[in-house]
Amino acid sequence: MLQLISATPSPYARKVRIALAEKGIPFELITEVPWNSTTQTPRHNPLEKLPVLILEDGSSVYESRYILEVIEAMWPDPPLLPAGTWERLAARKVEVIADGVCDACVLLFWERHRAPEHQSQEWIARQRRKVDGGLRALAEIAGTRDWVVGDRFGLADLCTGTLLRYLDVRFPEHPWRSQYPNLVALSARLEQRPSFAGSVPVPQVISDKVV
Ligand SMILES: N[C@@H](CCC(=O)N[C@@H](CS(=O)(=O)O)C(=O)NCC(=O)O)C(=O)O
């Protein structure tokens, strides 16, 4: 059976969990804390990051964007990408923005884990700008349409939804809910999907010293 190495707060792993669930593909969920020395992740990804999709032949696929491409190629129906070239590229651009905001959140999270005297306020401000700028761009793209790109659920919704709920876990004080009512409505709609309801992110316990 397919296996997915995941972590409870991971927005990147949630992207894959949702994609597999939307396509009805059964898989074994292996929940890890990649920050602890006990993690198995490095055995399957030389970059030591999850998510990692372990295929039936034991080979491993990593990097969420690439994992989703492999899933789309192996199990094309229902498609998560629009058929038209430019709509497909528009969905990929939304993934770039959403992943970039998640990346900035991760950097912010770890900077704040440093002792106060070692935290760089300039670095924190820089990551915060990326989060704010990315959210602004996503709110503009999403508008008040039912779906972020195209006329049905797809990759752009999957990435935007996972990012928004991740903010609640890693950046709960961010005012996006008061800034972007259209994103609040989109998130609420997406979280009602069984694929989202079955993969709600929660914080994890990190026992090792990471930074
Ligand atoms: N670009 C990667 C990012 C994956 C990533 O950063 N994963 C984190 C876990 S989480 O932040 O998603 O919860 C990780 O494994 N980090 C371990 C490490 O960076 O060594 C993807 O999209 O898959």
> Does ligand 1 come within 6 angstroms of the Cβ of 34?
yes
172-197 pLDDT, tens digit each: 999 999 999 999 999 999 999 999 99
Walking along the chain (211 residues) 10 residues at a time, the average pLDDT comes out as 97 98 98 96 98 97 98 98 96 98 97 96 98 98 97 98 96 96 98 98 95 95
The ipTM of this complex is: 0.99
Whole-model pTM over 0.95: yes
Which ligand 1 atom sits closest to the C-alpha of 65? 22
Q: How far is the CA of 62 from the centre of ligand 1 (A)?
A: 10
DSSP assignment of the chain, as one string?
Answer: --EEEE-TT-HHHHHHHHHHHHTT---EEEE--TTSTT-SHHHH-TT--S-EEE-TTS-EEESHHHHHHHHHHHS-SS-SS-SSHHHHHHHHHHHHHHHHHHHHHHHHHHHTTS-GGG--HHHHHHHHHHHHHHHHHHHHHHTT-SSSSTTS--HHHHHHHHHHHHHHHH-TT-THHHH-HHHHHHHHHHTTSHHHHTT--------S---
Pocket test for ligand 1, best of 6, 35, 49 (most atoms within 8 A of CB): 49
Q: Is 196 in the pocket of ligand 1 (CB under 6 A)?
A: no
